[in-house]
Structures are given as structure tokens and as C-alpha cells.
């Protein structure tokens, strides 16, 4: 029988595990789960007391990004800036803790060492520039959506690292440089990987695992959710979760599933993504169902490309395009999967593919299966 997200949040709260790693396919409710958990642990304070000194949970999710929004200067089209919604989180990250130097360092590491955020004195907005060291510097640029997401993650990461460093270095509250984190119990991180390439994704997972390993030694509890199997697998390995995944000790890895009736299931799992929840088989089944029911949409091109990419990686092919049918239409196959998976302009969005495009999905999936690129073993891996 399914549960509500509130009930699942309570389950996560009640476990004695220090680290919980949750995989959920997109649309399964993990972001909403993070909000339910936050409200359970630290409901909004309607009194006059300062919320800073009652912080019990630090959390990162899609709602964190909503604290930032663009002023594109539509009139002059020159003074573009990222505005910050007034809120207690950004106030103490920037005003109280002065983390702009660390934020810049992390951001440039994951993006471009010349791409520089410039904070306004009152921390109400940020502009971005390309610093070249000469008169060719470019000011007031609008960064990409991926760079924006990365920047916001770096804001969170800087304060998370500071919190764990403060709590680790000084066990006694009176010895700490700040007492903002004295009541901190939980860290909830939901999918910080959407904008990163695989190399930086792996590095980020390793860095997060390092902080988790430090934090759990001082009693902090961590909940990590993702839709990315590579990110899941690196965390699974770096955190050595396999040693804890026994029925005697209880699960610390889970698959969050949304049920047809609108409720949810949190299913304990063992192993990495391929063994624990048959990621590749799940994607393959979704595409097959869409073909059978005639409901192929742009979303299924993205899933198909993902299946090709992961299969190529598993079989040690340098490029996923090497698996495409060699029938003279290779460029078309590559173009349509690339376009459908990565288009970003509104006029590129096509909700309903044409008949020939839907047929292409069937052809490419059939090719992947029938040429033994995709083999289902007894344990559900490829």
C-alpha cells in the first residue's frame, strides 16, 4: 500500500541511519519530499524569534533556485543581473558569513575560471563578467541556465562546507566562530547535478561524499536524492553504503516510486543503480510502452539517447553514435536525437513528433536490442 510524501518524510526522520541515498526517476516526487521533510523537521517559525538560531536542517532543491531570478534589462538590453529574493538563507550566507569569495572559487572551478560573479554591496543582486585581464573583458552577461544552476548550488555548497567545518573543528559551542549551526541535525540534498558534465559530476559526488563522511562523525544525518544513475553510483561507492545494506541493519538505499493512485512507495534497495533498480530496463520499458500505445513524445527521444549513451559507456564505445544503424541515415539519427534532447528555445519545443519521427524511435530501439547491444541478464543488468 502506498504512502503520502508526509508519511515517507516521517519514515526518513525516524530511521537511525546517518546516510540515506534515494534514487527517483523524474516526476517521482523527490523535490516535494525534500519540502515535506523540511517542514517536518523545521516548520516555518511564525514567532518573533530569530530563525537563524533554530536551524535544524539545511536543504538544497529546485525551490532553492527560486530565490534567484533575472532582470534582463529589456529596455536597454545591457545591464543584465541576477536578483536575489530577500530571505534569511541568502542573508546569512552572504551578509553574515561573507561567503562570496568561496562561492566564486567553486563556481569558476565547475564552469570557467574567467567567468566571474560580481556581488552588489548590499547582496541584492549579482552581475557576471568574462575577465580577460585586458580591455577585452565582457561585462553584464547573462549566463546559461546550466551555469545559473551551478552558481546557486555553489552558494549552498559554500555554507554546507562551512557548517561542517565549524562543527567538526570545535565540539564545544562556545569555541565556534558562529553559533548558527549549533542545532543543525539534517542535510537534505536533492539533485545538484543537472548542469554538470560527467567529469565534474563525479568530482562533485566525491566532494559531497567527503563532507558526508565528516558530518556523520559528529552526528549529522544526510538524505541525498537524485535521478542521475552515475551520481547515485559514485555516492554509493564513495560512502561505502554496500556494507550497510543488509536486512539485519536495515536499508540505507532506496527507490522512490510514484504509484498510479497518486501515492508513493519507498522501496529499500541493495547495490548500485543497475543491480538495485534496473535503470536501463526501466527506460527500455518506458519507450516500448510508448511505441505500443502510439504515445511517443519528445521526452522519449531523450530517454532513447540516454539509453544509447549508457549502453555505449557500458560496452566501452568511445561515442554513443557508434551504436547507430549504419544504413546511410546516421546523420539524421544523430541530429534528431540531439535536437530532441537538447533544444532550449521555445520555438524548438515540439510536443507531438511526426509519424516518421515516431517510427524512428521504434527503429532505433529495435536496432539496439536486436543487434545484441542490449542484453538483459538474469540479475537485470546489461
Q: Which ranges constitute the DSSP H helices of the chain?
A: 5-14, 30-41, 62-65, 88-90, 100-110, 145-169, 198-216, 229-238, 273-277, 279-293, 298-314, 330-342, 355-370
Rounded to 5 degrees, φ, ψ at 113 are: -70, -5
- Please, which residues bridge with residue 274 across strands? none
CATH 3.40.50 describes domain 1-43+185-274: yes
Measure the CA–CA gap between 37 and 25, rounded to whole angstroms: 19
| pLDDT at site 51 | 44
Rounded to 5 degrees, φ, ψ at 362 are: -65, -45
| pLDDT at site 375 | 52
| pLDDT at site 209 | 94
| pLDDT at site 248 | 45
Q: How many residues does the chain have?
A: 382
| pLDDT at site 357 | 87
Residue showing cell 539533485:
191
Report residue 60 as a C-alpha cell. 538544497
| pLDDT at site 9 | 96
Ranges of each domain in the chain:
1-43+185-274, 278-370
Measure the CA–CA gap between 20 and 249, rounded to whole angstroms: 13
Report residue 375 as a C-alpha cell. 542484453
- Please, which residues bridge with residue 254 across strands? 22, 268
| pLDDT at site 11 | 94
Reading the chain (382 residues) residue by residue, the pLDDT tens digits are: 689 999 999 999 999 999 999 998 877 899 999 999 999 998 876 444 444 446 899 989 888 888 899 988 777 667 889 999 877 777 878 887 788 999 999 999 989 999 999 999 988 999 999 988 777 788 889 998 888 988 999 999 998 998 899 899 888 888 888 788 889 999 999 988 666 777 788 889 999 999 999 999 999 999 999 988 888 888 998 998 875 544 445 679 999 988 878 899 998 888 777 676 666 777 788 888 889 988 888 778 878 887 888 788 767 788 888 899 988 898 888 888 775 554 433 333 445 778 888 899 999 999 988 875 555 444 444 4
Report residue 193 as a C-alpha cell. 547535478
Angle at 85 between CA 80 and CA 89, to 5 degrees: 125
Report residue 251 as a C-alpha cell. 536499508
Whole-model pTM: value is 0.73
Amino acid at each position: 500500500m502506498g504512502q503520502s510524501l508526509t508519511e515517507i518524510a516521517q519514515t526518513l526522520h525516524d530511521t537511525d541511519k546517518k546516510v540515506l541515498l534515494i534514487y527517483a526517476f523524474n516526476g517521482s516526487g523527490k523535490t516535494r519530499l525534500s519540502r515535506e521533510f523540511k517542514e517536518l523537521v523545521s516548520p516555518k517559525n511564525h514567532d518573533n524569534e530569530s530563525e537563524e538560531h533554530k536551524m535544524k536542517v539545511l536543504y538544497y532543491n529546485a525551490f532553492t533556485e527560486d530565490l534567484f531570478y533575472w532582470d534582463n534589462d529589456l529596455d536597454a538590453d545591457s545591464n543584465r543581473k541576477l536578483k536575489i529574493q530577500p530571505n534569511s538563507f541568502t542573508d546569512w550566507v552572504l551578509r553574515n558569513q561573507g561567503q562570496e569569495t568561496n562561492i566564486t572559487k567553486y563556481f569558476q572551478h565547475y564552469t570557467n575560471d574567467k567567468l566571474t560573479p560580481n556581488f552588489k554591496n548590499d547582496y541584492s543582486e549579482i552581475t557576471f563578467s568574462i575577465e580577460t585581464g585586458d580591455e577585452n573583458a565582457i561585462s553584464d552577461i547573462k549566463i546559461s541556465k546550466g551555469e545559473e544552476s551551478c552558481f546557486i548550488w555553489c552558494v549552498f555548497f559554500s555554507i554546507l562546507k562551512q557548517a561542517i567545518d565549524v562543527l567538526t573543528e570545535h565540539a564545544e559551542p562556545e569555541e565556534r566562530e558562529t553559533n548558527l549551526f549549533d542545532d543543525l541535525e539534517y542535510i537534505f540534498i536533492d539533485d545538484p547535478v543537472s548542469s554538470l558534465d560527467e567529469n565534474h559530476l563525479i568530482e562533485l559526488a566525491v566532494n559531497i561524499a567527503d563532507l558526508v563522511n565528516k558530518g556523520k562523525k559528529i552526528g549529522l544525518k544526510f538524505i541525498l536524492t537524485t535521478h542521475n544513475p552515475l551520481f547515485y553510483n559514485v555516492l554509493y561507492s564513495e560512502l561505502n553504503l554496500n556494507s550497510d545494506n543488509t536486512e539485519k541493519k536495515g536499508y540505507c538505499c532506496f527507490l522512490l516510486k510514484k504509484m498510479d493512485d497518486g501515492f508513493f512507495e519507498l522501496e529499500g534497495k541493495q547495490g548500485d543503480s543497475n543491480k538495485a533498480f534496473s535503470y536501463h530496463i526501466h527506460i527500455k520499458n518506458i519507450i516500448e510502452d510508448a511505441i505500443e500505445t502510439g504515445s511517443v513524445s519528445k521526452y522519449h527521444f531523450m530517454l532513447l539517447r540516454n539509453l544509447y549513451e549508457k549502453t555505449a559507456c557500458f560496452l566501452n564505445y568511445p561515442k554513443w553514435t557508434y551504436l547507430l544503424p549504419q544504413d546511410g541515415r546516421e546523420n539524421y539519427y544523430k541530429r534528431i536525437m540531439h535536437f530532441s534532447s537538447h533544444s532550449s528555445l521555445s520555438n524548438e519545443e515540439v510536443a507531438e513528433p511526426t509519424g516518421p519521427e515516431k517510427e524512428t524511435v521504434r527503429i532505433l530501439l529495435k536496432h539496439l536490442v536486436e543487434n545484441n547491444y542490449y542484453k538483459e541478464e538474469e540479475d537485470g543488468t546489461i
